[in-house]
Amino acid sequence: MRDEVNDGIDVGYVAKLARLDLTDEELRSFQEQLRDIVGYVRKVQELDVGSVEPMSHGIPISNVFRSDVPGSSLLQETVLKNAPSHREGQFIVPKIVE
């Protein structure tokens, strides 16, 4: 049976998922480098982790709440100052719906 998990990385496919256009040269060299890197990080599969709890964070904390009091936030014009394109308080992007 084909071992899908350890089949190796298809850099072209994953790059598309990550919204990255790669040049042919990048695709070639990343494919080789990431094959080695994925081969290396597969090391975590050697460990017996059956009953071990996964650690999703640096320190065990959960459900951090603050009191529900309105505070100040950045002004709209301040936020829009860094926008590549904006009009009437909105970010402009290429047309999505015809």
Partner 1 sequence: MKSLGELTIVEALELLEKRECSSVELVAGMIEVIKERDREICAYVSLDEGGAFEQAKAADAARARGEKCRLLGVPIAVKDILNVQGQPCTCGSAILKGYVSPYDATVIAKLRQDGAVFLGRTNMDEFAMGSTTENSALGVTRNPANPGFVPGGSSGGSAAAVAGNLAIAALGTDTGGSIRQPASFCGCVGMKPSYGRVSRYGLTAFASSLDQVGPICKTVRDAAALLDVMAGHDSMDSTSIDVPLTDCTAAMKKDLKGLKLGLPREYFVKGMDRSVERSVMAAVETCRELGAEVIDVSLPHTEYAVATYYIIATAEASANLARFDGVRYGARREGADPLEMYCNTRAHGLGREVKRRIILGTYVLSSGYHDAYYIRAQKARTLIRSDFEKVFEECYALLAPVTPTTAYALGEKINDPLQMYLGDILTIPANLAGICGMSVPCGVGDNGLPVGLQMLGPAFKEERILHVGHAFEGAMTQKAGRA
Residue 1 within binding range of partner 1, rule CB under 8 A: no
CA distance 23 to 73: 41
Residue 45 within binding range of partner 1, rule CB under 8 A: yes
Query: Binding partner 1 by CB under 8 A: which of 1, 24, 55, 89?
Result: 55
Residue 17 within binding range of partner 1, rule CB under 8 A: yes
Q: What is the DSSP string of 4-51?
A: STTS---HHHHHHHTT----HHHHHHHHHHHHHHHHHHGGGGGS--TT
- Cβ(86)–Cβ(80) below 8 Å: yes
CA distance 62 to 19: 32
Query: Binding partner 1 by CB under 8 A: which of 1, 24, 66, 87?
Result: 66
Q: Shortest Cβ distance from residue 88 to partner 1 (Å)?
A: 16
Binding site for partner 1 (CB under 8 A): 4-6, 9, 11, 14-15, 17-23, 26, 30, 33-34, 36-38, 40-47, 49, 52-59, 61, 64, 66, 74, 78-79, 81-85, 91, 93-96
